[in-house]
Structure 1
């Protein structure tokens, strides 16, 4: 942690003009960008007593190692430069805006020779007009389908367009008159561009002009007794009206405004905006804001306007920056913000707080949407610290633990009538799944033929997992021998699947959860007792009544059905079940290509490949002694004996097939361990 006084500039070195400043850490990464109308006065606020600073500001200045600044001419220039630097450096201590979803837009690629209308997501592209955002892509496609009969612009991809150009035949939309078919010359590129301009004009809110034009043409066609054309124009007018009706009228006709609202607390906020064009809501958008810096609502609104209007395409500038921007709180330097937005739009932009009337009512509606979005975000957010803390605290109290179970491991056994027995271990840390720590086990059993039942399988899995932990915790062979751990076997297994720079089971869980009732809990408790482990809590979760069982207790612990603690235990148990089932199905599927070595406990594909590479064929492997097999890297004495036992009683037909395999290989390495003896 750095002392801000070690890099504080001398007061006389800092100019008093407007500018933008950057704090950098010891690695020269920009961690915060800010602007000021007086750089000297603003930076002086950061270099006061750290204890007097806001906690987030104190964290920032103690993380930083240097500060630098750039002088600009006006506060408006500072506003634009601040935004561009925030976009460029993405500083960790600036306000973070995250879209609560990826919003689709209706885009018209006016930068192309033949403009195309399509659904687009992601970053905006130069030369493209955007309309929206919309809540759903299907809403765009439905609207586009209605408008294509009036404005039959191109919607096909570049590949489809080129193929139609080469073949001289339009696509289906060209045949049903929903595309003007510029690909085959039915319309010139200039006329098609004019058609696309009319389409954009309609989408931008100038709907009445096009309806009046079509109505006039329909009347003229009727007077000329061109009734079929008049009927087609009548249907076109109806299509435009249906497309227009999809957007509710909320303000007087001709109103272009963006209405913002925010709801939140000291840590995060939800922001919503309604885009109103021509008095109708044309789109809605929302963000979740992480307040990683000390910022007021006024500052938040300023950052929000930078986020929304910072990147404006020349083609779409008027559509993105409306005449009015209605906000819940005025920014501190509202005059500079107005000037900046007016410069982007090329005309005056009014930034204000609605006080009465329809606009005030609409702002209240947007605020309610922001409040609902924040509530939904907190409900859905798996990383919600409050909910996770509550769940862990409820588990701690229910099970009588000394501390909250920050690391929970859950085990489940999966089998089909005793075959292909496997088990899973899933890990939740701080209430969140940690998938990199997941493990699965193949059940061996005492004779290498699997466990007798689920309780025996659970005992084996718990013992194997914590044998690994005990072996990592102590290297004393006598201690390991006292608890019955086969050091050679553990070393051999570790050599088969090494994981550099990472221990498999580096530290124990606070709580072990097994899927099952008293029998499974008793088996797991017995395995822990055999290894001398008494600092790990244990419980079982029975599926039928969701009862929590503790070792040696005659009655279960009952958690409330609505409790966060029970919900977390259920999620952990269900994840273990899913992981076990997926591994079991994978093993069962591989049974179609069984090798004569597949039944050897602990001998997976990696070890099989090593054996074949060393001996060259199954025939030579079958002739080898247990000592020769144990000499292969990754093989232990017990596994070598099991390989010999598995190969010794081979049936004559199987032996003949293996010998044929060896002869065909010519003494070289086998190509696939999964086909041994097949």
Structure 2
């Protein structure tokens, strides 16, 4: 890797104009393309103290060997040039969306003499107009089958078309009236293209005027007593309406819009797009991407719009684009709007909906994005080859002798030093084993000492392991049965004892202090066959005992992804336990002021009423209905709760989440 100071340009050499810049590696390959309204401010930010850079940005800066830039006049030009270069160079550090699955689309090959309607997948081709994408290919075929009655356009392949030309007879669709049979000259190329254009107008959402025209023709035919023609038009109208009903109405005003929403975590992001035409959802598309650089929702949305509309042309950009987030800088939003307007050829309304049906629809798309991200992660985690590769990468990165088939991760959780708890989660062969999860209450002390808490938890867990291992020598397996691998089987339940299996890798949520505490606990117990590592959340670095520098796994590493999943699961499990303990303490806390009320009767009261809020609202008579509560005690409880001041809601300062609402 190159030292950024070797290619850093002098600050005075960098212009303050808008422009686009490229980072190149030692082989002159472009690895990152970015834009800025002030090139000097943006580029100098990359050459600050590396410790202050996001780890992904730092990796990019150290992978580069040179930087160059091109100034432009406006931010719109910068946006256009950035898209052009990203498409040309395909830089590996830029956000690159990939389809989370292959979506079928309805395609019309307008570039042919006799355009064909068909189902297509994959990249778009020139001379082809696309509608969709759709969730299922059968949904497209059902829609097309209904529309062919009204718009009998060609759907056959080139081979079938040429054969019909040679023999002078159309295919079956031509005989049953679902093809105008241009192959045998029933219609001219101009007449067939007119049918295709009407078909495209209908699929674009312009169904209303066409239906009204057909209804008028039906009435005229009936008035002229041409009942067969009127009946045929009536059936055509019914077919068109059935085709329209296959798409749910989401916006009553017949809006043409694309709705773009996303879900993300520290590693990946999923984008979902709903294509709404004429107020109905005409198609849906989903993408996922690795977050290689430290980017937020506005940058992810901008990259999605570039990929969605960059090659779409005027036909692909609707009147409205509703998004989940926009750049904080109004000038950047204005440039993005101007770029879309230029592609469409008329004004495009780019905005974040704040209320009404469009806000509700955006929330629906956001839920789809969240589900797509969760499904993507589940598929990635459940893939056997991916899990094997992750374990191999961890083995190599940490210098382990064998792959860590059992990984245990520990996390400490508390609220300002109160209700200190710890969690232990287990992953075997890269998959979670929830039956092996354990939780610990730290009772020896209170306070915000995560290092001491980690030492205590590791000591308690492995002391139990050593005790059960020692018992193995006193217990013999029944004849014909085997002892459990790595520990004894409980003869009463037939299952492994709680702490019977030691891990090959012990992971702690934290940096060097927590890792040192875990290693010290194992040393004190004489355990030397368990590897220890820590995953620091802020920079996603892996720390090893007695090492001054962390192990930095590549951003795209499956090993890092597995360690992060293990760490996040330990954090979730610890938080859940800590909240349950806190809630129990809070619920019973207000009853401590009632004289003569013991733990048994406190539990009985809370069980009967369900919450302190309902208990506070209860009358004396209702309190006496609880077993063990007499009238005098009930009056004391009512008086104590009535005089207790309402508590201020507690808020998690890190997330802003209300963790105790005072009830």
* Shared fold per TM-score greater than 0.5: yes
Deviation string for 1:528-582 (max 9, x for gaps)?
A: xxxxxxxxxxxxxxxxxxx99428977786499xx9x9xxxxxxxxxxxxxxxxx
Alignment gaps of 5+ in structure 2: 407-427, 432-481, 504-663
Separation (CA, whole Å) in 2 of partners of 1:65 and 1:388 = 34
Q: How far is 1:15 from its partner?
A: 2.2
Report the TM-score, using the length of structure 2 for normalisation.
0.59
Contact map agreement 2:488 2:496 (CA 8 A) in 1? no
Instruction: Identify the residue that residue 374 of structure 1 maps to in structure 2.
Output: 373
> 2: distance between equivalents of 1:559 and 1:344?
66
> 2:319 maps to which residue?
323
Provide closer, same or farther for how the CA distance between residues 161 and 552 of structure 1 changes in structure 2, counting only shifts above 3 A: same
| 1:49 CA drift (Å) | 1.0
Q: In 2 relative to 1, CA 228–283 (structure 1 residues): closer, same or farther, beyond 3 Å?
A: same
Q: Name the structure 2 match of 1:229.
A: 229
Q: How far apart in 2 are the matches of 1:212 and 1:174? A: 27
Matched, 1:264 2:229: no
**CA-to-partner distance for each residue in 1:322-351, whole Å, 9 max, x for gaps?**
111111111341000000000000000011
Q: Secondary structure at the match of 1:382?
A: helix
8 Å CA contact retained: 1:106, 1:130:
yes
Work out the CA distance in 1 between the residues paired with 2:351 and 2:203.
26
Structure 1 pair 216–335 and aligned structure 2 pair: CA distance change class (3 A):
same
- Superposition map of 1:23-172 within 5 A: 23-172=23-172
Correspondence 1:406 to 2:406: no
Deviation at 1:56, TM superposition (A): 0.8
1:365 aligned residue? 364
- Cα distance in 1 for residues equivalent to 2:105 and 2:78: 31
Q: Deviations over 1:466-501 (max 9, x none)?
A: xxxxxxxxxxxxxxxxxxxxxxxxxxxxxxxxxxxx
Q: Name which one, 1 or 2, has greater alpha-carbon Rg.
A: 1
Give the 3 Å change call, closer, same or farther, for CA 163–384 of structure 1 in structure 2.
closer
Change in CA separation of 1:559 and 1:182 when aligned onto 2, cut-off 3 Å: farther
> Helix, strand or coil: the match of 1:96?
coil
- Partners of 1:215 and 1:299 in 2: CA distance: 48
The separation in 2 between residues aligned to 1:11 and 1:364, in whole angstroms, is 44
Q: How does 1:197-208 map to 2 (within 5 A)?
A: 197-208=197-208
Q: How many residues align?
A: 417
- Could you tell me how far 1:290 is from its partner in structure 2? 1.1
Would you say 1:238 and 2:234 are equivalent positions?
A: no
State whether residues 21 and 67 of structure 1, in contact with CA within 8 Å, keep that contact through their aligned partners in structure 2. yes
Partner of 1:322: helix, strand, or coil? Answer: coil
CA distance in 2, matches of 1:431, 1:263: 24
Q: Give, in whole Å, the separation in 2 of the partners of 1:164 and 1:228.
A: 30
Q: Where does 1:213-612 land on structure 2 (aligned, <5 Å)?
A: 213-313=213-313, 317-318=314-315, 320-331=316-327, 332=329, 333-382=332-381, 406=403, 431=430, 549-550=484-485, 558=496
Q: For residues 610-629 of structure 1, what are the structure 2 equivalents within 5 Å? A: none
Residue 269 of structure 1, CA deviation? 1.5
Q: Extract unaligned runs of 5+ from structure 1.
A: 397-401, 410-428, 433-546, 566-678
Q: Distance in 2 between matches of 1:169 and 1:284?
A: 39
* Deviation (angstroms), 1:90: 1.7
Deviates more, 1:215-224 or 1:107-116: 215-224
Mapped contact 1:406–1:431 kept (Cα < 8 A): no
**Change in 2 beyond 3 A, CA 1:84/1:548:** farther
Shift of the alpha carbon at 1:13?
2.5
TM-score (norm 1): 0.58
Relative to 1, partners in 2 of residues 1:404 and 1:154: Cα closer, same or farther, differing over 3 Å? Answer: farther
Per-residue CA deviations over 1:9-64 (Å, capped at 9, x if unaligned) read 12232222221111111111111110111212211111111111111111110111
Q: Contact between 2:483 and 2:489, CA under 8 Å: does it hold in 1? A: no
- d(CA) in 1 for partners of 2:402, 2:138: 45
Q: 1:326 is paired with a residue of what secondary structure?
A: strand
Distance 1:183 1:175 in 2: 12
Deviation at 1:293, TM superposition (A): 0.5
How far did residue 225 of structure 1 move? 2.4
Match of 1:450 in 2: none
